[in-house]
Amino acid sequence: MSIRVYPEYNGLVSVNPLEETGISHDEISYDDRLYWTSKLIKRIVRFRVLTDPGFPMYDISYCYAERIDGKIIPVQLPFHQLTKKFWKTELYNYAKADGVNAKRLGFFDPLVFSTVY
């Protein structure tokens, strides 16, 4: 896990920035978005949330996955916010309802989860 502070953005802090994956935003195929139930998704490479100190919710910024052919694509999720305290339980419940194995895809991997505050 890495932390990056951006002084040029008033001290914004990013935990696990995308650069740490070795993937740049230029490599993302934005024309090929998949819904999170797609069987073409091999694994989640970055699940980014935004928040403010003291605010009880995470806003979902983006979710990127590696498709089975190796292409990195955005993933459409059925939610736009999760509570900080129970985000794992909430995500698990959404996944269970949609037949998605969130753990197998890597949503709960600490190196996949990324926050900005």
**How high is the pLDDT of residue 55?**
95
**How high is the pLDDT of residue 9?**
64
**How high is the pLDDT of residue 81?**
98
pLDDT tens, residue by residue, 25-58: 788 888 889 999 999 999 999 999 999 989 999 9
Beta 3-6 vs 12-15: how paired, if at all? antiparallel
Q: What does the alpha-carbon distance between residue 106 and residue 114 come to, in Å, rounded to a whole number?
A: 12
Backbone torsion region of residue 38, taken as left when φ is above 0, otherwise alpha when ψ lies between -120 and 50, otherwise beta: beta
Average pLDDT on 73-89 reads 97
Average pLDDT on 88-105 reads 98
Q: Give the residue numbers spanning the domain of 104.
A: 3-116
What is the domain count for the chain?
A: 1
